[in-house]
Structure 1
Amino acid sequence: MSKKYLSWVLALMLTLVFAGCSEIPEAETPDYETDLTEEEAERNSAFKEYFPKQYQTYQRLKAEDFDYGEGQMTEYGGSVAHEKHLCGDLPQAYKYCQPYLKNLWLGYPFSYEYNRARGHANAVHDLLDIDRINRYSEEAGLPATCYNCKSNKMPGYIEEYGDDFWAMEFHDFREEHDLEDHAIGCNTCHDPEDMSLRITSVPLTEALERQGEDWRDASRNEMRSLVCAQCHVEYYFEHEEIGVAQKPVFPWDKGKNPDDMYEYKKSFGVTDREGFEGWFIDWTHPVSDTPMIKVQHPEYEMWHDSTHGAAGVACADCHMPYTRMDGKKKISSHFQTSPLRSMEAIENTCGQCHTDKSAEYLKDRVIYSQERTWEQLMEAQRESVRAHEAVRLASEYEGDVRNDFDDLMIQARERVRKGQWFWDYVSAENSAGFHNPAKAIDTLSKSQKYSRQAVQYAMQATNYGIAPDLEGDIKDIVPPIEEHSRELHMDPEHLETHEWLQYLEPHPEGDLIWDLNEKVAN
C-alpha cells in the first residue's frame, strides 16, 4: 500500500470520526404497544406484564424506609426518612440537619413535620401519613391539589372534574387510594398506549404555553427532563380572586431563577397588608408578623441553566441511567435515585462523559461542592432566625423609636421575607447545591444579605435600643424548636416551652380521624 493511499484512508477515517462526534443523532423512542386503557393505567402493577424489568427496578423504591436495605444515605441526602430538623443519628435524625426549620416555618403546616423524601413508590403513603395535613378533622385544611404530584390517578381526576378538582376536599379522596398501586408512576410520564413520554401535569403544560412553548414539540432528550419538571419545581396555589381556586401555578413568567420568581410573587395575591398590597403570601409568621412565602423543591429551575443543563445532560441521564438486567437486556432504570449511592452507579452516570476521571474523584468533587453549599446554607438559616427575632423585639420595644418607625418596620419585614425565600430556595432543592453550585452559593449570599438588612432596619427603627439583645450566638438568643406537631399544638403547656411557641393559639382538642387511607373515627 502506497503512502499516498494510506494517507487518504487515514484522512477519510478521521473525517468520519469527527463527523460522528459533531452530529450525534437524536435518540429514537422504541415502539411499544399495550392494551391498557387510561383507567387501567392508574394501577402501576398493570404495567408489570408488559415491562417486567422496568417494573422490577421501580419496585426497589418501595424498600426506601427506616431500615438499611435499599434505604440508604449519600453524604448529604438519601432515602432514610429522618426528620430534617433533628441532629443526631439515623434513622430519626442525621448529622446534616437544619435545626431551625420549625422556627422558620412556625404558624405554617411545614412546622409540624418535614422529613427526608422517599422514592416515588412511597408518595401516596407518605402524603397520607404526613402531619402537615390535618388528620384530626373532617376537613384536611389543605385542598385536593396536594395529590397532584403524589398520585397516578391525576389524569382521571382532571378528566372527570376539570379545574373544579383543585379546591375539592383532600380527605374525600383518601379511601380510593391504594398505598402502593396509586403512587406516582408509569402513567405520569408515559402514554399507556405506546409508552411515549408525555406531560400529564396541567400546571407545567400551562407554564410552557405562557412562554410560547409546547411540550409536544420537544425533542426526546428535552422530554427526559420535562417529565421531571412536572413535579420537581417551585409552585404556588392560585387564589380564587385571581384565577382558579387552589390550582397549582409555576411562577416562571419573569424567569426561572429565585430573583425572577420573587419579583413575580409581588403580584397574584389578595393581601391588603400595608407595604405588601397585592403580594402573594403563603402565611404570616406569628413571631415577626411577616407575610411569608414557602419554596417547594426547585430542582428543575436549579438545573436548567447549570453547566450540565446547558450541555444537554438530562435529568434521566443521572437519575435513571441505562442498566443491564440479568447481564443481558439494557433498560433505563426506574429506580430513580442519586448516582452517589455506589461507585458502579457513578461509573454508569458521571463516568459516561467524564471518561478521564475515576469514580472516586468524581464523588469527591460532588461532595466538595456540597460542603461549600452546606456551610453557607447553615449561615443563611441562622441569619434568617436572627432577622425574625430582631423584628419581634423591635415591634414590642417600649423605648424611644424613630419617627419613621412604621416605614422602617415594613422594610425590615420585607427583608425577612426575602432572606428566608432565598435560603429556602436552596434548602428545599434536593441536591445540597450540586445541581448548580454557582447559583446555590449566589442565592445563599443574597439570603444572608437580606436577612442582615432586616436586622439593621429593625435596629434603626428602635434607635438601636434592641441591639444588645441581638448580640452573640443565635442559639443562645433563640434556641431551636425541637418538638412541635398538630397534637402538641392542642396542648397549652407545650406552647409555654419556647418563647416563640407562645405566639400561637392552642388548637381545639381532637382525636385522630384518619390513619393513612382508612377512617378510624367519626
Structure 2
Amino acid sequence: MRKSTMRIAVTAVGTVALVAALAACAPAGSGNPQEPATGAGTSEPVAAPVETPEADEFGVVLADSWKDIYPGQYATYKANEANSPEGKMNYLEEYPELATMYAGYGFAKGYDEAASHSYTLRSISETPRVNDKTLANCITCKTPQFTAMVNSEGDEAYARPFAEVLAQMSEPISCYNCHENDPTQVVVTQRHFAHAMGSDAEQVPVEAQTCGQCHNEYYFDPDTKATSNPYEGLAAMDAEAILAYYDEMGFKDWEHPETGAPMLKAQHPEFETIYGAEQSSMAKQGYSCADCHMAPVSDENGEYSSHELVSPLENPAITEQCGSCHKDIAGEVRGWQKEVTDREHAIAADIKRYTDELAAQKDSLDADKLAQAQQIQRHAQFYWDYVMVENSEGAHNYKAAHANLDKAEAQLEEGFALLGIA
C-alpha cells in the first residue's frame, strides 16, 4: 500500500521545470474584496478596505467571521473538511520496522497519515503520543489561537500544560495563521520561524514562508521548551547541517531502549527540502507553495485563490500549465515517488536489522566502539526519517531525497562493517 496522493504530492511539481508558463497559476488581483493581496515582496494590496470583524479572547478573528466578506475563499477553505482523519494510512502498518526504529518514543504508539488543516485540533487531541507530561508546545501549529497566545505572552506559553491549554482552543488552522487579522496581507505569524529565516526572508516568496512556518523541521528547546528551528538562513536548511547542529548541542529526542543510542525524530521538512540549501528547481525559479496548491478560481464575485489545499496533480488548472513542458506530469511524478518509496522500504529493513544487531552486541562492545555504533544508528535513521516524513516522497526535490537516502545507506554500510556483519 502506497502513501496516498493527498500526502505524497504536496507540491508534486516541486522539482519540475515549469518555466514561465506556470506564472498564470499565481494569485492575481482582481480589484474586489474576493482577492486579497499576496503580501509583502510579491504584489501590492488590491482588496477594498473592509471593517475587521470582532476578534475572540485571544485576539483572533475566526474564519467564520470572514465568510460574508470573502465568500469564495471561505467556501474553498471549508472544502478541506472532506479530507478527514477517517481511512488514513497507519504508518506503523505500512512500515512495520518503525516499531523497532521508534521504540521508546511516542511515535511507536501511533502514527497516522495527516488529515487536512480542518482537523488539526482533533488530531492532536486524539493521538496516543500525548500524556500528562506533554506541554503546550505540541500545539504550536495546530491553532492560530495558540500562535496569538505565544505572540502575546512570550515563550512562557510553550511550557504550559498541554491539556490545560488545549481545552481553551477551538479554532483549527485558519485565516489568522497566514494573514493575522488582515486578509489583504500574507504574514509569517510564527516568530521562531521568522527568526530562523533571518535576512534570507527576502529571497523566498512570503506565500512559501507562511506555509513553511509550520511545514518545517523543529525541536523544543531543552531549557525554555520553546518551539525552535535548528538553523538560521537557507544555507543551513539541509539534513546534514541540521544533524550537525543537533550533534553539536548534544540534543536528542529520546534514547533508544535497546541500543542506548541518542535518537532524533525528524518532523516534516517540506520548506527545507524545497527552499533550503540545494534548492528545488521550482524554488530557483521563484515559485511559492501557493502557485501549486492554491490555483485561481472564478465565480460571480471575480477571481481569487482557492483555499482548498490539494495535490496539484488533482487540479487541472495546474496540470494544464505543466503540460506545456511535460507530456505526462502525473506519470513522471509518480515514477519519482515510487523510486523513493521503494528505497524507503528497503532502507527501513536495513535500519531495523542494524538496530537489532547493535542491541545484540551492545554489552560486548568497548565504550568507543559502542558510541560510534550508536552514532551511526542516530545518523542513518535521521537521514531516512528526513525523507520519509517530508510528505512528498521525492516530488518536492527528487535529487535531495535520493541524496539523503544515499547518506543513510552509507552510514549503515559503515555500521555493519563496524559490527562485523555482512
Q: 2:134 is matched by which residue type in structure 1?
A: L
List aligned pairs for 1:307-456, cutoff 5 A. 307-325=281-299, 329-341=302-314, 345=315, 347-358=316-327, 361-397=328-364, 405-456=366-417
- Partner in structure 2 of residue 64 of structure 1: 83
- Partner in structure 2 of residue 260 of structure 1: 241
Cα distance, 1:190 vs structure 2: 0.4
Asked which structure has the greater CA Rg, the reply is: 1
Distance 1:352 1:126, change over 3 A: same
List aligned pairs for 1:83-102, cutoff 5 A. 83-86=90-93, 97-102=94-99
- Partner in structure 1 of residue 14 of structure 2: none
Inter-partner Cα distance in structure 2 for 1:155 and 1:37: 18
**As a proportion of its length, which structure holds more helix?**
2
Cα distance, 1:356 vs structure 2: 4.3
CA deviations 1:426-451 (Å, max 9, x no partner) are 01100011100001011001111112
Inter-partner Cα distance in structure 2 for 1:390 and 1:456: 12
CA deviations 1:401-424 (Å, max 9, x no partner) are 6xxx32111111110000000000
Inter-partner Cα distance in structure 1 for 2:299 and 2:409: 48
- Partner in structure 1 of residue 68 of structure 2: 49
Cα distance, 1:98 vs structure 2: 1.8
Cα distance, 1:49 vs structure 2: 2.1
Cα distance, 1:162 vs structure 2: 1.3
SS in 2 for 1:266: helix
Whether contact under 8 Å (2:155, 2:226) holds in the other structure is yes
Q: 1:257 is matched by which residue type in structure 2?
A: D
- Partner in structure 2 of residue 174 of structure 1: 166
Whether contact under 8 Å (1:34, 1:50) holds in the other structure is no
Distance 1:380 1:288, change over 3 A: same
Q: Which has the higher contact order (CA 8 A, sep 6+)?
A: 2
Whether contact under 8 Å (2:77, 2:307) holds in the other structure is yes
Structure 2 residue corresponding to 1:185, chosen from 174, 179, 182: 174
Whether contact under 8 Å (2:151, 2:191) holds in the other structure is no
Cα distance, 1:295 vs structure 2: 0.2
CA deviations 1:355-391 (Å, max 9, x no partner) are 2444xx1100000111111111112211111121111
List aligned pairs for 1:9-158, cutoff 5 A. 27-31=43-47, 32-39=49-56, 41-65=60-84, 80-86=87-93, 97-134=94-131, 139=132, 141-158=133-150
Gaps of 5+ in 1: 1-19, 68-79, 87-96, 269-278, 460-466, 472-522
Whether contact under 8 Å (1:198, 1:227) holds in the other structure is yes
Inter-partner Cα distance in structure 2 for 1:396 and 1:294: 25
Cα distance, 1:161 vs structure 2: 2.3
Q: 1:59 is matched by which residue type in structure 2?
A: K
Inter-partner Cα distance in structure 1 for 2:268 and 2:220: 14
CA deviations 1:257-314 (Å, max 9, x no partner) are 111111111133xxxxxxxxxx111100101110001100000011110111111121
SS in 2 for 1:349: helix
Distance 1:308 1:160, change over 3 A: closer
Whether contact under 8 Å (1:409, 1:458) holds in the other structure is no
Q: 1:441 is matched by which residue type in structure 2?
A: H
Gaps of 5+ in 2: 1-22, 29-40
Whether contact under 8 Å (2:85, 2:115) holds in the other structure is no
Distance 1:430 1:159, change over 3 A: closer
List aligned pairs for 1:447-466, cutoff 5 A. 447-459=408-420
Inter-partner Cα distance in structure 2 for 1:49 and 1:267: 52
- Partner in structure 2 of residue 205 of structure 1: 194
CA deviations 1:338-360 (Å, max 9, x no partner) are 1223xxx1x312432542444xx
Cα distance, 1:208 vs structure 2: 2.2
- Partner in structure 1 of residue 37 of structure 2: none
Cα distance, 1:37 vs structure 2: 4.8
Structure 1 residue corresponding to 2:207, chosen from 211, 224, 248: 224
Cα distance, 1:455 vs structure 2: 2.3
Taking structure 2 as the reference length, what is the TM-score of the superposition?
0.84
Taking structure 1 as the reference length, what is the TM-score of the superposition?
0.68
- Partner in structure 2 of residue 247 of structure 1: 226
User: What percent of counterpart residues are identical?
Assistant: 24
Distance 1:66 1:154, change over 3 A: closer
Distance 1:194 1:306, change over 3 A: closer
- Partner in structure 1 of residue 32 of structure 2: none
SS in 2 for 1:176: coil
Whether contact under 8 Å (1:225, 1:315) holds in the other structure is yes
Cα distance, 1:29 vs structure 2: 3.4
Whether contact under 8 Å (1:376, 1:445) holds in the other structure is no
CA deviations 1:71-118 (Å, max 9, x no partner) are xxxxxxxxx4221222xxxxxxxxxx2222222111011111111001
